[in-house]
Amino acid sequence: MNSLNHDQLLALYRQMQVIRQCEEALAKSHQRALIPGACHLYIGQEAVAAGVCAHLRDDDVVFSTHRGHGHALAKGVPPRQLVAEVFGRATGCSRGRGGSMHLFAPEFGMMGTSGIVGPCIIQGTGAGYSFKLMKTDRVSVVFFGDGAANNGAFHEALNMASIWKLPVLFVCENNHYATEVAFTYACGSPTVAQRAGGYGMPGVQVDGNDVLAVHAAADEAVQRARTGGGPTLIECLTYRIRPHCEGMQDFGYRTREEVEQWKARCPIAGFRQSLLSSGGATEAELASIDAEVKELITDAVQFAEASPWPDPATAAEHVFAEA
């Protein structure tokens, strides 16, 4: 079905399941009031994080947005640390100081999610600049939404990355809405990818619900970045299945029928089906992954719930880097 070997195919499937099951557990946890603050889930978009991050090394970096749990998991943050952080606990990857929208785990190359839409595009470009100055072959990946693509940060970052040929992947997850505003209403251009030409860099649009399509596009872009060829803009067409943020109303701006149509294009169910029909994996192999991931996520939630809150006396610690 493609050039990936059996282990790589199963790894992609497993990565998407880890994200999906973790997000579903977080949706339930939000209903149990275990999550302080806003919680933006990534359900439906798993193929993007899995397909891109499969190419990254431990010393590559990822910059993300308010919808960043999937990016953190795909970059290697363990589910226990992720869930504990979203719960605000001392055992979280940022020791409970960041929560869902500001979680950082630089030891895994996860350089942060952010509640401010747009600036991560510039920060990720800055990381690419530092990698170039240090003469490394490390790569910086920025994930952002279609809404963020209309922020001035997008223009500044892509132009600079292009003129200096920085090793950056700009991955736009076009899930068709910025909160409740449709992309078709908010954007004068029908695609984000075609803007790449205006900056002098390659731009490609892929089916963001097809993990193999994302994987192939990211493969080429990562190789280009590592070998001095400069940045790439990848637009992944996808859809968020949950409301913009847990607890928000969902049907003032889109219809139930539209959501159902996209649910039927689930990236995980689709990949599962194609693995089975092509002989890429057996039902027993996939069922075993499903069960193993279920255990992993159940353990992560139990671990997080049993974890202590950060000690108020330590509030000023771990906030600024030591000089």
Ligand X SMILES: Cc1ncc(C[n+]2csc(CCOP(=O)(O)OP(=O)(O)O)c2C)c(N)n1
- Site residues, ligand X (CB under 6 A): 66-67, 115-118, 144-148, 175, 177-179, 244
Contact between residue 271 and residue 47 where contact means Cβ atoms under 8 Å apart: yes
Burial of 181 (0-12, 13-18, 19+ CB in 10 A): middle
For the bound state, the minimum distance from the C-beta of residue 221 to ligand X, rounded and expressed in Å, comes to 20
For the bound state, the minimum distance from the C-beta of residue 241 to ligand X, rounded and expressed in Å, comes to 12
For the bound state, the minimum distance from the C-beta of residue 146 to ligand X, rounded and expressed in Å, comes to 4
Rounded CA gap, 11 and 5, in Å? 10
Residue 157 has, within 13 A of its CA and on its CB side, a CA count of 31
DSSP class of 322: -
Contact between residue 61 and residue 141 where contact means Cβ atoms under 8 Å apart: yes
Q: Which amino acid is at 190?
A: P
Residue 296 has, within 13 A of its CA and on its CB side, a CA count of 20
- With respect to ligand X, which residue has the nearer C-beta, 94 or 175? 175
For the bound state, the minimum distance from the C-beta of residue 228 to ligand X, rounded and expressed in Å, comes to 30
Chain centre to alpha carbon of residue 4: 22
Cβ-closest residue to ligand X? 145
Instruction: Compute how many other C-beta atoms are within 10 angstroms of the C-beta atom of residue 27.
Output: 15
For the bound state, the minimum distance from the C-beta of residue 39 to ligand X, rounded and expressed in Å, comes to 12
- With respect to ligand X, which residue has the nearer C-beta, 104 or 144? 144
Give the chain's length: 323
- With respect to ligand X, which residue has the nearer C-beta, 140 or 151? 151
- With respect to ligand X, which residue has the nearer C-beta, 84 or 157? 157
Instruction: Tell me the three state secondary structure of residue 264.
Output: coil
- With respect to ligand X, which residue has the nearer C-beta, 117 or 139? 117
Rounded CA gap, 273 and 2, in Å? 15
For the bound state, the minimum distance from the C-beta of residue 135 to ligand X, rounded and expressed in Å, comes to 33
For the bound state, the minimum distance from the C-beta of residue 251 to ligand X, rounded and expressed in Å, comes to 16
- With respect to ligand X, which residue has the nearer C-beta, 45 or 307? 45
- With respect to ligand X, which residue has the nearer C-beta, 26 or 148? 148
Nearest to 236 by CA among 254, 257, 221: 221
